[in-house]
Chain A
């Protein structure tokens, strides 16, 4: 297996700016995401980490440079096919309030035309996987669930069509500290067990150190450093040090 095959997502000299806005949100970003790793993008609000995520599943297109997913630039992907190929988890789950939990989880399979029996089976399997009893939860609506339960459903939904890549945008940000810690642990187990590649965005350095195989520190649209958790802890970078000091 050569190096390029091993790289699921590549950013090549990527810049992004909103039309009519002078300052670029991302400038000249170069980044490779390896098969099977959990890459954490760490940074404060407005540093461009969420934008980076949206460039991967083509919710946004780069202003310059290219984003390559599985060897093909996002501009040459059919956006619908690309997105059904990638799991996406956002804060609070982003669940559809008018769908039952089962329908939320079965969304992408049903869009892809699976038959109903298979969708239902897959839904039960995934709910169990994220620690929710299918019998209890399948027919409920999102508003009847707690924040942590909704977040689990969000993860289950992202995994439904068995994507090779997961994008997670501050998935545990809105949870209380105890729920957050337990969900983080479960997620680490799960991603290891399933061997999924994931890009996770957070502003929480604890989370980055706990979940990341590599940590990319972003600041004002630039990638300052890209290190393993050990490398990050030992870094002399000023921003990295500032984050590490909050750990005490």
Chain B
């Protein structure tokens, strides 16, 4: 698909993301101005505060944005996932340039002008409003301009905490190696930044008395602009605060890859068909879905038993699927008040793959059967597989593998490398959509080396009690998705670039639950 075609098919979604992006930037800048300018004024009046306050704002600026979002998630009220956390982080980032330029602008007013103002009998408030602020306005608007451009950039990271915006395309594009998504997200963000810079640049010239012509309206513009920013900020915050109460909604989360988002969309549509309002909080990075589920921001999200078992509960890998499922269910109930749904019917584990032609020629069905071939074979493994506890070192030992060559490469590229004869064996994802398309064959893990990664939904017990339809929907999905079906669904998204909502809708229609 060309970029132009991509834009034509996805312009509606892109427009929504741009709108989300702009709303985030606008609200955060408005709040930062409302906090930052008075703070800056205060700092010009109380010299002793200047060092500490600017110091704190400076430190805020140096915290990497992803880390700042991470710190905020566990905090009550300002934390969690979604728009609120993003806004808090964005405001913190925007404060420094605004406070600093307010201070610099006011202190930069010529001392003789300030002295004349005082000597004319102006009160401190009059000196501030009529002399210092108008003369500092250009510098203050420069600070707001810098803060806005930074905020447009930082807002792309907000997608990681589920706040939406153009970062959704950028993150998705990175994961799916889809240059159209990346380009659409990054280009739009860059254009927004340039646009904001340009518009505020015009504004800045209006505010700077140096370039002002006779009869300029800038003097009258200042109160209007300030009022507009404050009013719009208040409206934004109010809009945000009056989100519907949580009682009548189910918040469905997902991790940041195609399959997780698909599984989340499946349960979301099933709930909607049962008359339940759903809030989608998809594509959350790292451990966010777990954190959000435990603190109650999410009601449920799809997970894999092996991941819960090793990454969350910190147990050593076990190969028996039943034992893993039972222990995860027991410990999640007692530790987190979270229930584990019945398995969905497929695993997403490492799939040891070879070319179909090789498998048929050598009659290979299991990894053990392939082991004798390995001294003539080159292997291609992803970084993750090379480094993790249940990855390459243990795997090659368990089967006595001895490759002619092992190449470490990006997981997504290994499939192409295998089908184009660059390598002869890879460790892919068992539900990867391209397996069938590229005529690859999965060898059975006959020694049960890999721990089980059964797909399940993790759902809060109190949500099950609150929304009776949940239990029914989850029961319907028990054993309902085979590995083949999951591969096909993934391929519809990643290979055929279809819209996940449509794919899920079609699939559910065929299932007739």
Contact = CB atoms under 8 A, between A and B. Distances in A.
Interface of A: 57, 59, 80-85, 88, 90-92, 94-98, 107-108, 111, 139-141, 157
Interface centre among B118, B121, B214, by most chain A C-beta atoms within 10 angstroms, is B121
B115 A94 contact: yes
B227 interface: no
A97 B215 contact: no
Contact of A97 (B115, B118, B123, B135): B135
A88 B119 contact: yes
A81 B209 CA distance: 30
B214 A108 contact: no
Interface centre among B113, B119, B126, B214, by most chain A C-beta atoms within 10 angstroms, is B119
B302 interface: no
Nearest to B131: A96
Interface string B200-224: 0000000001001011000100000
Interface residues of B, number: 21
Contacts of A95: 113, 116
Contact of B209 (A85, A97, A107, A111): A97
Contacts of B131: 96, 98
B351 to A, nearest CB: 71
- Secondary structure at chain B's binding surface: helix, strand, loop or mixed? helix
Contacts of A111: 120-122, 126
A153 B487 CA distance: 83
A84 B121 CA distance: 5
B112 interface: yes
Contacts of B121: 80-85, 108, 111
Given A92-B112, A139-B214, A140-B214, A98 B134 contact: yes
Given A90-B112, A139-B214, A139-B215, A98 B119 contact: no
A81 B113 CA distance: 20
A92 B113 CA distance: 10
Contacts of B209: 97-98, 141
A20 to B, nearest CB: 15
A135 to B, nearest CB: 14
B117 interface: yes
Contacts of A157: 120
Interface centre among A57, A82, A97, by most chain B C-beta atoms within 10 angstroms, is A97
Contact of B113 (A57, A97, A141): A97
23 contacts: A59-B118, A82-B121, A83-B118, A83-B121, A85-B121, A88-B116, A88-B120, A90-B116, A90-B119, A94-B113, A94-B116, A96-B117, A96-B131, A97-B113, A98-B135, A98-B212, A107-B120, A108-B120, A108-B121, A111-B120, A139-B215, A141-B212, A141-B214
A139 B119 CA distance: 24
Contacts of A81: 121
A84 B120 contact: yes
Contacts of A97: 113, 135, 209
A90 B120 contact: no
Nearest to A107: B120
Contacts of A108: 120-121
B112 A94 contact: yes
Given A59-B119, A90-B115, A91-B112, 20 more contacts: A59-B118, A80-B121, A80-B122, A82-B121, A83-B120, A83-B121, A84-B120, A90-B116, A94-B116, A94-B119, A95-B116, A96-B117, A96-B131, A97-B135, A98-B219, A108-B120, A108-B121, A111-B126, A141-B212, A141-B214
A59 B131 CA distance: 17
A142 to B, nearest CB: 10
A177 to B, nearest CB: 23
4 closest A-B pairs (Cβ-Cβ)? Answer: A94-B116, A84-B121, A83-B121, A98-B209
A59 B113 contact: no
B119 A57 contact: yes
A82 B115 CA distance: 15
A85 B119 CA distance: 10
Contacts of B116: 88, 90, 94-96
A108 B118 CA distance: 11
B122 to A, nearest CB: 6
Contacts of B214: 139-141
B446 to A, nearest CB: 83
Nearest to B126: A111
A197 B121 CA distance: 19
Contacts of A80: 121-123
Contacts of A91: 112
Interface string B103-135: 000000000110111111111001000110011
A52 to B, nearest CB: 14
A97 B117 CA distance: 12
A61 to B, nearest CB: 13
Nearest to A94: B116
B115 A59 contact: yes
B71 to A, nearest CB: 43
Contacts of B117: 96
B47 to A, nearest CB: 14
A113 B115 CA distance: 21
A115 B65 CA distance: 54
Contacts of B113: 94-97
B119 A83 contact: yes
Nearest to B110: A97
A139 B134 CA distance: 18
B139 to A, nearest CB: 13
Interface in B178-217: 209, 212, 214-215
A108 to B, nearest CB: 5
Contacts of B215: 139
A158 B117 CA distance: 12
B113 to A, nearest CB: 6
